[in-house]
Structure 1
Amino acid sequence: MHKHRGTVIGTLALTTALSLSACSSDDAAKDKPGPPAADGTHTVKTAMGDVKVKNNPQRVVVLDTAELDSAITLGVKPVGATRAGAEQAFLSYLPQSQTTGITEVGEIANPNLEKIAGLKPDLILSSKIRDGQRYQQLSAIAPTVLTESTGYPWKQNFRTHADALGKKPRAEQAIKRYETHVAAVTKALGGKAKAAGTQVNVVRFVEGADIRIYGKQNYIGTILADVGVGRPAVTDKAKDGFSYDVSPEQIDKADADVIFTSTYGSPGKAKVTETTTSGLWRGLKAVRDDRVFQVDDELWIQGIGYSAADQILDELQSDLTR
């Protein structure tokens, strides 16, 4: 099994905050809309209705991994963020320089409201599925922008985050970079037809739960679809399009040309060794062909954003062209 090391190969660079010129009145500036006035407000459409936020919020708290990825992608370092997992305070695929100084405000779906209030935020970002039940309390602290859910609608959610952060032009640049990168990976795989001829599965070992064979209605599924690789028939059986869950004794259902595996939590409690030393596992085509790649769970499954996607695309190209 191939294993990726925790190197950071993202290409998104942080820039300094936008500065506004009071004397910019030339014709070119009139023709091209500039950033909103720094001291004004604008309305953002959210899962909880319209929310009025500052045009350029400076003290942002993010309560999930997708919101953290979005903020960093858009050049905004939050003042507070929830913990991504038990072992890692924040997403490990992001350079430390981009997360150093962020205050931890509890766990995802269980944030510490007192800590959040103490940071005096001017914007809070999360989703209804994570924090809908705390919306009134969060809104009493600062304008709170919630998307409906996380994962599969990540591209739409990113635009909502960008709107709330006053970074819509920068968001369009990130989207264009992603689309260009996707096209380059598809080309490297030999074009759309050849890419579609390679059946790819993503298998996640989860502590205290069944093994997940990821379907198409999730974050990683959308990236694989954008690149154009094939997906085995089992992915169409995924519950709500998300995942088809199996026991170690059913791992033969994960058969594919290529398998990417990740682990959430303790490998022992996630039954990694038990599964990958079995005869069923050794009989899988990807295992026989040495085309199983172990990937970072935080990057491939938890990150959910354009900074993560940039690195995933690099890994996809590297592994699928071996």
Structure 2
Amino acid sequence: MAKRFNRGKRMWRNNIAALACCAVIIGLLSGCGGKAETEAPGGDQEATKTAAVETSGKAGSGQASTEEPGTNREETSTKEERTVTDELGHEVKIPAEVNKVFAPNMEDSLLKLGVKPVAQWANGKLGHSYLQEELDGIPLIDFSGGLPSPEALMSYEPDLIVLHTETYAADGTYEKYAKIAPTYVFKNASGNVEKSLSTLGDLLGKASEAETALKNYQQKASEAKAKLSSVVGDKNVAIIRFAPRGVSLMGGNYLCGYVIHQDLGLGKSKLVENENAANLSLEILPQLDADYIFVINAYDQGTERMKEMTESPIWKGMPAVKNGQVYEADNEYWLGSGLIAYEKIVDDVVRSITGQ
């Protein structure tokens, strides 16, 4: 009897020990399973966090995310919003990201920055013809009857509006547009295209693109200037613009005149020595001191006046005409205001005068 009791007691102890051992093993397995879910192979939790952040960044924008957990993206954008002062003294709040810009008559500069506008300037149904290949599909807004109404502009939902001249902002237009989106106004962006391009690049977060475009243009202009200098020397170059309202001699302060007389350093007539432009007639024509002449039929609307002057004996007796140094320029980009137009003008001048 005693033997059976002792044997039973030993069996009970063995069962208790076995149960305790199983409990320990189950606990260990449970703990290992929990770690497997939260740690990278090797048990390095920091490596797992880093990998998760990098993966999140690559999935979004190709860069590692810099946001802290719980950061609100909208709050981050608000913090990055900038306030700048435009050339008329308006304080303008520039959004952290500008995705939709409306900048009529600055399409050339926008394209140089790799940006397409939500809509483009047009005269009737015609936009800037030399840009239409790149602006294919961009809606045209007719400016022939004035600036678009606020209601028409609102339909494009711009993030930023840029007006290239202060006349665009007159008569309450600025106040109306500023209610639609932040509105930046230049006094005259066409007066110094290189400066206005830099400003536009800063507004759109494209400063590096603007810097690269300017360097490339300046290099191109410098090389052209050297070629032209050896041929033209100290002789003058004139630009005559034929339009329905009259004939003018363009000065060196804007558009193609700026390119020829400032960027390329070619001399200009004393008639526009200190002027943006001067009226030109058959009576004044003999005073034109220029050995090279470029003529522009403005938007193909100056044909009648151009024919009247160029068929006159006075015109035919001018040295530039006798020497075959009169060149008809493309009216679209020669009156364009941007580096794309300027580069084309440089090519035209070099090819016409040097034959290269």
Fold match, TM over 0.5?
yes
Structure with larger RCO (C-alpha < 8 A, sep 6+): 1
Partners of 1:55 and 1:165 within 8 A in 2: no
Q: How far is the alpha carbon of 1:21 from its aligned partner?
A: 4.0
Bigger strand fraction = 1
Q: What is the TM-score when the length of structure 2 is the normalising length? A: 0.73
Q: How far is the alpha carbon of 1:51 from its aligned partner?
A: 1.0
CA distance in 2, matches of 1:196, 1:146: 40
CA distance in 2, matches of 1:265, 1:253: 27
Determine if the alignment matches structure 1 residue 102 to structure 2 residue 135. no
Q: How far is the alpha carbon of 1:20 from its aligned partner?
A: 4.8
Residue in structure 2 matching 1:62, options 103, 121, 126? 103
Partners of 1:79 and 1:101 within 8 A in 2: no
CA distance in 1, matches of 2:278, 2:174: 32
Q: How does 1:230-245 map to 2 (within 5 A)?
A: 230-236=267-273, 241-245=275-279
Residue in structure 1 matching 2:326, options 282, 289, 292? 292
Q: Alignment length, in residue pairs?
A: 281
Match in the other structure for 1:309: 342
CA distance in 2, matches of 1:82, 1:184: 33
Taking structure 1 as reference, are residues 314 and 68 closer, same or farther at Cα in structure 2, changes over 3 Å only? same
Listed one character per residue, the Cα deviations across residues 34-92 of structure 1 (whole Å, up to 9, x for unaligned) are xxx9784223331232311123311111222xx11111111111111221x35x62211
Q: How far is the alpha carbon of 1:254 from its aligned partner?
A: 3.3
Runs of 4+ with >6 A deviation = none
Identity of aligned residues (%): 26
SS at match of 1:69: helix
Residue ranges of structure 1 left out of the alignment (5+ in a row)? 1-18, 26-36
CA distance in 2, matches of 1:109, 1:313: 33
SS at match of 2:116: coil
Q: How far is the alpha carbon of 1:266 from its aligned partner?
A: 4.9
Residue ranges of structure 2 left out of the alignment (5+ in a row)? 1-59, 67-75
Taking structure 1 as reference, are residues 318 and 292 closer, same or farther at Cα in structure 2, changes over 3 Å only? same
Q: How far is the alpha carbon of 1:168 from its aligned partner?
A: 0.8
Taking structure 1 as reference, are residues 137 and 108 closer, same or farther at Cα in structure 2, changes over 3 Å only? farther
CA distance in 1, matches of 2:303, 2:258: 29
SS at match of 1:162: helix
**AA of the residue aligned to 2:341:** A
Residue in structure 2 matching 1:198, options 202, 211, 235? 235
The root-mean-square deviation of aligned C-alpha atoms, in Å, is 2.3
Partners of 1:201 and 1:256 within 8 A in 2: yes
Match in the other structure for 1:153: 192
Q: How does 1:1-322 map to 2 (within 5 A)?
A: 20-23=61-64, 40-48=80-88, 49-64=90-105, 67-83=106-122, 85-86=123-124, 89-94=126-131, 96-107=132-143, 110-113=146-149, 114-133=151-170, 134-191=173-230, 195-207=232-244, 209-224=245-260, 225-236=262-273, 241-267=275-301, 271-301=305-335, 303-322=336-355
Q: How far is the alpha carbon of 1:228 from its aligned partner?
A: 1.6
Partners of 1:59 and 1:123 within 8 A in 2: yes
